[in-house]
Amino acid sequence: MALGQAHLLLGDVEQAIEFARKARASNPRLYITNTMLAAALGLKGELDEARTVLAEAIKLRPEFNSLARWRAYMTWGSPEYWALPERTTIVGLRRAGMPDE
């Protein structure tokens, strides 16, 4: 999962999807793996699958059903770090249908 997230943050969407799919296959019950896969798929433009995977992630962790709730939980990292997800993960999650609030 960490390799998929790293590739996603770097904007290497194909590798992010590949690693996220492998991580999800090994443990489909992790919400974060589904969330990262949904973000990568959304960033790539595969919106139908991204929405399906995002729905699965939210089913696993309903408290993370918006970007505001997700950000409130993720309190670590520097402003430089958070610039990366703003350009990648968050864009992908928005495209997948995750609301801001």
Type of residue found at 14: E
For residue 27, the 8-state DSSP code is -
Using only C-alpha atoms, the chain has a radius of gyration, in whole angstroms, of 12
Spatial separation of the C-alpha atoms in residues 55 and 75, rounded to whole Å: 23
Q: What are 1-29's pLDDT values in tens digits? A: 788 889 998 899 999 999 999 999 999 99
Domains of the chain: 2-96 (1.25.40.10)
Predicted structure pTM score: 0.93
